[in-house]
Amino acid sequence: MTYRVEITRDETRRSGGVSVDITAYIGRMPETEPADYGRLVRVPASVWNTRLLYAGDFDDLPEAVAAIAAAYPELDEIRCYEHPTDYEAPNEMAPLVRSGASWAPGAHPRPGGPPPQLVWRVG
């Protein structure tokens, strides 16, 4: 399993904040090459999605969240997706929401959506 982190410039905010996604690839590999493994790296400006700022692949969720929190300590929400082998597109899960030093799932963005296959809880 691979946890792919993608940090993008959030163009819906006037302040120019960031948006962070974690996609868990369950039983499959991401379709695109990783920017780097085990850390977040700046994505070259030539990448087709110029809103993409940083990316990285991680072995486990706590490692991915630690890298995100180190880069963006003020961040309080991370969008989460699961992409299992039997689905053509990733399923949106409840976002991770910070509470003190812990991260736990918040409210699911689509009630009645598919249940998570993973435990989305950190520390």
Q: Tell me the per-residue pLDDT of 40-49, one tens digit each, with 9 for 90 and over.
A: 988 877 655 5
pTM (predicted TM-score)? 0.87
| CA–CA distance, 120 with 92 (Å, rounded to integer) | 12
Name residue, tokens 């982190």.
5
Q: Where are the domains of the chain?
A: 2-105
**Other CB atoms within 10 Å distance of the CB of residue 20:** 25
Q: Hey, which residues does 3 pair with through a beta bridge?
A: 24, 58
Dihedral over alpha carbons 63, 1, 109, 122 (to 10 degrees): -30
Q: Tell me the per-residue pLDDT of 67-115, one tens digit each, with 9 for 90 and over.
A: 999 999 999 999 999 999 888 899 999 999 998 889 999 998 888 888 8
